[in-house]
Chains A and B, each alone.
Chain A
Amino acid sequence: MEIITGILTQLVHMALVIAGAPVLLGLVRLAKARLMGRRGPHPLQPWRDLRKLLGKRAVVAETASAVTHVAPWVALAAALLAAFLIPSFARGMVLAPLADLVLVAGLLALGRVAMALAALDAGTPFGGLGASREMAFAVFAEPALILAALTFSIIAGTTNIDAIAGAFQDGAVGVRVSLALALIAMLAIAVAENGRIPVDNPSTHLELTMVHEAMILEASAEQLAIWDYQAALRLMLWLSLIAAIFFPVGLAAPGAGPVAWLIGIGAYALKLGALGFALAVFESSIAKMRVFRVPEFVGAALLLGLLAAVLLFLSTGFA
């Protein structure tokens, strides 16, 4: 029985993620526009953009090689797999045993490296600029994520996201300083990894400070569609990760029936909506920082992660 519900929830989850990622992005854009006093695009605009891009003819730089053609697919597969692993509305999906936080970090790195290589492929100045900055920011973001994983694994005893969500859902954890610190660290990394303000501006082109957009300047049509779609997936993935770990309320238990799923889906939509709105508010109220201030921002997240773990040693009383 649990196998069947596991497969069913997995399929529903996959459909939710595939269909929902661009919508979430559209909602964040809409909220930002409204906060800034504009009307803003329809929430389905990212989907429309994707359809338009897929119907176009691709122009590939003469200097580009096979990497340009292969890299988008690698990044897409990595982002999809990572997104499939992170529980959204139900625990105990069939891929749950695979949902290791370190593996998710590895998949994110895979996508990042694929993108950086594609950026360097055509031999253009902006591609190199974006690639070197993206890899440099990741140097701080990745250990911060691993340190957050350290905090979770001390409390929950494992790095499996499904099991962490389960342990936190049981409520035996209480309100912990370390978790608060880890939450702040995770939020900061999420902002940096998705190229949002103040680290990078997702809605700008042709500025010398851009990072993410600089890497996909040469992409067009199908390739650009895939890059945009995987970026939307990564935003969804990060928000789902934070929601599943820190706000596991409403997650359907393994083997639960369709009613629990519906509650779970509702809670998931609410959580993502709230996180997306918070992101929009945050982005609207803060200015983009200089590129060389970003390491301080992400490095602070890294140190907060370390602090969370150290404080946890204190309170678990293993001394």
Chain B
Amino acid sequence: MLMALLALLIVLLALAAVGAWRAPWAGRVVHAGTAAVCGGFCVVAVLAMVLPPVAMTLPFGPFWGPAMIALDGLSAWFLLVLGLSGGAASLAALGSGTDWPPRLLLPWPAFLAGMALTLAAADAFTMLLGFEAMSLASWALVAAEHDRAENRRAARLYLVFAIFAAACLIPAMGLLAVGPEALGFAAIRETPPEGLRAALILALVVAGAGAKAGLVPFHAWLPLAHPAAPSHVSAAMSGAMTKVAIYVMARVLFDLCGPAQPLWWGVPLLALGAASALLGALRANVEDDSKVLLACSTIENIGLIVMAMGLALAFRGADLVPLAALAAGAAMLHALNHSVFKTLLFLGAGAVLHGALSRRLDSLGGLIKTMPWTTASVIVGAAAAAALPPLSGFASEWLLLQSLLAGWRTGALGFQIIVAAATAIAALSTALAAAAMVRFVGLAFLGRPRTPRAAGAAEHPGAERAALVALAALTVLLGILPAPLLDLAEGGVRLLVGGVDRPAPALLGIAAGDGAARLWPALVFLLLVVIGGGALVAIRVRRTRFIVSGPAWACGFNAPPPHLPFGDPLTQPSAAGLAQPLRRMLGGPLLGATERVTMPDPGDTGAATIVSRAEDPAFAWLLAPLARVRDALVVPAERLRDLSIRQYLMLSFALLIAMLALVAVLERG
């Protein structure tokens, strides 16, 4: 199995080499190849979850020891996530064009290989190697369309955050390992960190992996970088890369740090997760670019997953293993579900960009008539993102809410109050996500076209559409089958929180904690279909209906003049208009949102205009002060540039002496 995985990794490297070739067939080969490799990942992952865990020491590695790879329940689960998301993205890329430049083709297999290597790693060095390969390759993909200024800005910011993540994760791994020979996970598990060292590792990993996952306050790059990349790359970044970061967080905090960590470890994760969920969901409601909107929704879902992880940590610290298993199961299931439906939504946005040539919600509209397949798939994905039963998002958010509702069982009053507030925020974010998805679907796909280009949009049949439809079907399937999935995730959950017998109701049901609350998604699906069908038959039997179509009533608006064949665009809500209630209610305090409405004078038939603005607090509170610090540091640093050669030599010499002194001190200690 591991040999198969290694073979797949080597195929990916070969595909990267093919991608460097400037040939008309290169794009086809690379994307078909990566799609096949991702399919292989899925097979390997499912096999690894069914079979006992395996580990392997490679015959090569860094000079201090061989590299190790392994697959257990946890890494196999995330490998499945990677396989599904990456495979669908490759398929869509295969269908959406032929003339790909090498700067897009070369990093794409490398990106997938980096993620797979991170997941398969069984020692700290290999994991970091994979993680950094993933960062670098994805940066190249974000920067690929560098002819536009905003993409250059996004790529620069992304690189800064990638370096920040590395600067946090490398020391964290150093703190974990007791020596250069003990970088293997097995050796680290022998000596779990304690006290201050453990707390430092917690902080570094949450910051480092959180910066990659898009956790508040390290999320500023995400809504910029995702839209800058081509759509299939955004899909894989959102669907797979953020999950790899979650995996790193789970691996280090749950597995490597050992089960003896206290209850309060859950609090930072819970707090940051809640902040991410709220901020991401709220921003998704005010953005007017479809891919930015989806990226903000990713921040929200990452927040929900991290909340579940924080709860699992806290429950484990309080020795409530069944509840910890519930929360860990919620986190893993939501990671998979979010990966599938977010890949679907990003690919849908890509299909819209491909077919209607715009990402701006204000230039779309009415696509359901010209792109029916895309629309139907996106509605399924959006309904899952809105956590509507019986789709996949609801099953995992049900588990999350149930574990939040059980948070009071930890018994610590302060934590109980935090969990109660977190429950409110989780439910609030879910409702906000529903509002954002309604706005997205309503503006882009329903209503009337807002531009001639949207009216003339066309759907591209073939691989792009096949990927969308397959993902939509998978979303429905995952929604009604969470019980077998949880069985599949059992190994990972066991690894995270220890062994427990999960109460498993029959008929594909899932149960919360002690089994007092249950959910049967398949039954809900069936009942909805039966009841809806029954109502349809009962109402329509023996009744001859006439449906005629006429102009929209709209409270008696006049028919539009002949030069506006799709109706007056001003009588249709705009992106800013649909966002108005939430922007006014919550946007002011949280996003510093402002709006200015200009009304025409009485008697003037001109249009009223609304100008709205909202800014992410991360820019004002984190990035702007950091930029000031950078500017303050640059001035003295600039002075170093005009030293004499003797002074330069002195600098290097002083550094060498300092290092030697450090070694001397360390060896004595």
Chain A residues with CB under 8 Å of chain B are 54-55, 57-67, 73-74, 76-78, 80-81, 84, 95, 97-98, 100, 102-103, 106-107, 109-110, 112-113, 116-117, 120-129, 131-133, 135-136, 138-143, 145-147, 149-150, 153-154, 157-160, 163, 206, 217-218, 221-222, 225-226, 291-292, 295, 302, 305-306, 309-310, 313-314, 316, 318-319
B401-434 interface (Cβ within 8 A of A): 401-402, 404-406, 408, 411-413, 416-417, 420-421, 423-428, 430-432, 434
Q: Quick one: closest A residue to B428, CB to CB?
A: A143
In the complex, identify which listed stretch (B289-297, B576-584, B649-657) lies at the interface while the others stay far away: B576-584
Inter-chain contact B539/A59, CB cutoff 8 Å: no
> Which of chain B's residues have a CB closer than 8 A to the CB of A67?
368, 446
Q: A125-B554, A310-B420, A318-B411 are contacts. A138–B531 as well, Cβ < 8 Å?
A: no
Q: A123-B447, A126-B554, A138-B431 are contacts. A313–B408 as well, Cβ < 8 Å?
A: yes
Q: A100-B517, A136-B581 are contacts. A76–B535 as well, Cβ < 8 Å?
A: yes
- The majority secondary structure among interface residues of chain A is helix
Instruction: Select the residue from B379, B386, B405, B523 with max chain A CB neighbours within 10 A.
Output: B405
Inter-chain contact B417/A313, CB cutoff 8 Å: yes
CA distance A59 to B553 in the complex (A): 10
Distance in Å: Cβ of A271 to nearest Cβ of chain B? 25
CA distance A77 to B528 in the complex (A): 6
Inter-chain contact B546/A58, CB cutoff 8 Å: yes
> Which of chain A's residues have a CB closer than 8 A to the CB of B379?
117
Q: A74-B532, A121-B447, A132-B581 are contacts. A309–B420 as well, Cβ < 8 Å?
A: yes
> Which of chain A's residues have a CB closer than 8 A to the CB of B572?
123-125, 128
> Which of chain B's residues have a CB closer than 8 A to the CB of A314?
413
> Which of chain A's residues have a CB closer than 8 A to the CB of B365?
123
> Which of chain B's residues have a CB closer than 8 A to the CB of A154?
408
Is B441 interfacial (CB 8 A cutoff)? yes
CA distance A59 to B531 in the complex (A): 25
CA distance A191 to B386 in the complex (A): 23
Q: A103-B389, A222-B539 are in contact. List 20 more A-B contacts (CB 8 A).
A: A57-B548, A61-B551, A62-B549, A67-B446, A109-B388, A123-B446, A123-B552, A123-B567, A125-B554, A125-B571, A128-B578, A131-B442, A132-B577, A132-B579, A136-B435, A142-B431, A153-B405, A154-B408, A159-B402, A310-B417
Q: Quick one: closest B residue to A115, CB to CB?
A: B438
CA distance A281 to B53 in the complex (A): 66
CA distance A57 to B406 in the complex (A): 52
CA distance A142 to B388 in the complex (A): 13
Inter-chain contact A313/B413, CB cutoff 8 Å: yes
Inter-chain contact A150/B438, CB cutoff 8 Å: no
Inter-chain contact A58/B547, CB cutoff 8 Å: yes
A-B contact pairs, 17 of them (CB 8 A): A61-B551, A62-B552, A63-B567, A73-B536, A100-B519, A117-B438, A128-B573, A132-B582, A135-B434, A138-B434, A146-B427, A147-B423, A150-B405, A158-B517, A225-B539, A318-B408, A318-B411
CA distance A248 to B518 in the complex (A): 22
CA distance A80 to B306 in the complex (A): 35
Is B167 interfacial (CB 8 A cutoff)? no
> Which of chain A's residues have a CB closer than 8 A to the CB of B402?
102, 159
Inter-chain contact A143/B427, CB cutoff 8 Å: yes
Contact of B517 among A84, A116, A160, A306 (CB under 8 A): A160
Chain B residues with CB under 8 Å of chain A are 365-366, 368-369, 379, 383, 386-389, 394, 398, 401-402, 404-406, 408, 411-413, 416-417, 420-421, 423-428, 430-432, 434-435, 437-439, 441-443, 446-448, 512, 516-520, 523-524, 527-529, 531-532, 535-536, 539, 543, 545-555, 557, 566-567, 571-573, 577-582, 584-586
Inter-chain contact A62/B582, CB cutoff 8 Å: no
CA distance A84 to B531 in the complex (A): 10
CA distance A250 to B512 in the complex (A): 29
Q: Quick one: closest A residue to B437, CB to CB?
A: A113
> Which of chain B's residues have a CB closer than 8 A to the CB of A106?
387-389, 394, 398
Distance in Å: Cβ of A274 to nearest Cβ of chain B? 29
Inter-chain contact B532/A135, CB cutoff 8 Å: no
Contact of B527 among A66, A81, A100 (CB under 8 A): A81
Closest A-B pairs by Cβ, 7 of them: A128-B573, A123-B447, A120-B442, A77-B532, A143-B427, A136-B581, A158-B516
Inter-chain contact A139/B554, CB cutoff 8 Å: no
Inter-chain contact B438/A160, CB cutoff 8 Å: no
Distance in Å: Cβ of B443 to nearest Cβ of chain A? 8
CA distance A302 to B369 in the complex (A): 40
Q: Quick one: closest A residue to B581, CB to CB?
A: A136
> Which of chain B's residues have a CB closer than 8 A to the CB of A61?
549-553
CA distance A106 to B399 in the complex (A): 13
Q: A81-B527, A81-B528 are contacts. A124–B571 as well, Cβ < 8 Å?
A: yes
Contact of A306 among B421, B535, B573 (CB under 8 A): B421
Q: A67-B446, A318-B413 are contacts. A57–B546 as well, Cβ < 8 Å?
A: yes
> Which of chain B's residues have a CB closer than 8 A to the CB of A74?
532
> Which of chain A's residues have a CB closer than 8 A to the CB of B425?
143
CA distance A104 to B470 in the complex (A): 29
> Which of chain A's residues have a CB closer than 8 A to the CB of B545?
57-58, 221-222
Q: Quick one: closest A residue to B550, CB to CB?
A: A59
Inter-chain contact B416/A146, CB cutoff 8 Å: no
Inter-chain contact B552/A63, CB cutoff 8 Å: yes
Q: Quick one: closest B residue to A105, CB to CB?
A: B427
> Which of chain B's residues have a CB closer than 8 A to the CB of A95?
527
> Which of chain A's residues have a CB closer than 8 A to the CB of B421?
306
Inter-chain contact B543/A54, CB cutoff 8 Å: yes
Inter-chain contact B527/A63, CB cutoff 8 Å: no
CA distance A217 to B552 in the complex (A): 9
Inter-chain contact B549/A59, CB cutoff 8 Å: yes
> Which of chain B's residues have a CB closer than 8 A to the CB of A98?
518-520, 523-524, 527
Contact of A128 among B386, B512, B527, B577 (CB under 8 A): B577
Q: Quick one: closest B residue to A75, CB to CB?
A: B532
> Which of chain A's residues have a CB closer than 8 A to the CB of B438?
113, 116-117, 120, 131, 135
Inter-chain contact A128/B519, CB cutoff 8 Å: no
Contact of A97 among B404, B518, B546 (CB under 8 A): B518
CA distance A146 to B516 in the complex (A): 17
CA distance A222 to B545 in the complex (A): 9
> Which of chain A's residues have a CB closer than 8 A to the CB of B431?
109, 135, 138-143
CA distance A217 to B417 in the complex (A): 44
Q: Quick one: closest B residue to A156, CB to CB?
A: B516
CA distance A191 to B519 in the complex (A): 28
Distance in Å: Cβ of A234 to nearest Cβ of chain B? 15
Q: A77-B531, A117-B442 are contacts. A139–B388 as well, Cβ < 8 Å?
A: no
Inter-chain contact A120/B446, CB cutoff 8 Å: yes
Q: A76-B535, A217-B555, A302-B424 are contacts. A139–B432 as well, Cβ < 8 Å?
A: yes
CA distance A145 to B446 in the complex (A): 30
> Which of chain A's residues have a CB closer than 8 A to the CB of B581?
132-133, 135-136, 291-292
Contact of B552 among A122, A129, A133, A145 (CB under 8 A): A122
CA distance A267 to B306 in the complex (A): 46
Q: Quick one: closest A residue to B407, CB to CB?
A: A150
Instruction: Select the residue from B425, B566, B581 with max chain A CB neighbours within 10 A.
Output: B581
> Which of chain A's residues have a CB closer than 8 A to the CB of B428?
139-140, 142-143, 302
CA distance A59 to B579 in the complex (A): 30
Inter-chain contact B420/A306, CB cutoff 8 Å: yes
